[in-house]
Amino acid sequence: MLDPLSALMHRNAGWHGPAMLMYHAVEPGAGSPRWPWAVSLQRFRTQLDLLSAEGWRTPTLQELIAAPEHWASRTVVITFDDGYADNLFAVEELQQRGMRATWFVVSGSIGREPSWPATGRPAGRLLNAAELREMQSAGMEIGSHTVSHVRLTEISEAHRRSELVDSRTEIEGALGNAISSFAYPYGVWDSDCVKAVEQAGYRGACTTRTGWALRDGNPYLLRRLTVFNTDTASSIARKLYLGDNDASWARAWSHFGSRARSRFARKSA
């Protein structure tokens, strides 16, 4: 499954604290989808098989936030943004392995084609209310990604509050229970957005900044590692070791070189 060096690196992955992976779409087949934020179903399977074989636990975001001390090592929260209907392939694969994940859905497009501008994303509709309820019954968490997938930093305070509160209300109405997790559309946020998310009643929010999930010590500024269309099991293994979106070999050698220089400096002091 892994090349020898990636396997060696991965032996030391997961001890810096929980990580989070950010997915969007899962396309049938193998290889690399055209959209950078989509993965093929075959590669998604190999990535899950890696996590399963290496003993990674996969709580929901809600569970991580509720008891972060319980999820200290070899923990990865799997997240999906937007809520594309093709994510049902992912749900099936997760269930087969006893894994869970968290979805951030755009409430204004539930069951319909996305209302925000197209950027090469998957064609077709988002998950509908019945599918979201079934996913929740299967142990998946459903969270919010606003009403209309808008950049929260570019709208008025009143509009921002509406995007946050109305989305939460709509999703709770569809599910029949409260939700508590949020992800900033496009990864865009500022201090006013963070405050608004908390005031809207959410308990945690995900950014797209790279790094270990809890690095900032703020549940409204959680970090994630982005999964791209070119990622393989080996590159995911390296991302989980490095805590970085850049899992290239150049980045890996730079990391090892920095560690070697630090050891030499300590010995010479």
State how far the Cα of 69 lies from the Cα of 147, in Å rounded to an integer.
32
The pLDDT, as a whole number, for residue 199 is 98
Q: What is the pLDDT of residues 133-159, one digit of tens each?
A: 999 999 999 999 999 999 999 999 999
> pLDDT tens, 54-95?
999 999 999 999 999 999 889 999 999 999 999 999 999 999
Residue 26 CB partners (closer than 8 Å, separation 6+) = 38, 39, 40, 41, 44, 86, 87, 89, 90
Instruction: For CA atoms 190, 67, 61, 43, give the dihedral sign.
Output: positive
Other residues' Cβ atoms within 10 Å of the Cβ of residue 189: 23
pLDDT of the residue at 142? 98
Q: Which CATH architecture has domain 4-268?
A: Alpha-Beta Barrel (3.20)
Output the pLDDT for position 256.
81
CA distance 246 to 267: 30
Mean pLDDT rounded to a whole number for the chain: 95
Residue 156: other Cβ atoms inside 10 A: 8
Residue 195 has what pLDDT? Answer: 98
Quick check: 132 and 88 in contact, CB under 8 A?
A: no
When pLDDT is averaged across residues 174-198 and rounded to a whole number, the result is 98
* Residue bearing the bigger pLDDT, 268 or 183: 183
* Both structure tokens of 30: 């193998």
Predicted confidence (pLDDT) per residue in 213-257, tens digit: 999 999 999 999 999 999 999 999 999 999 999 999 899 889 888
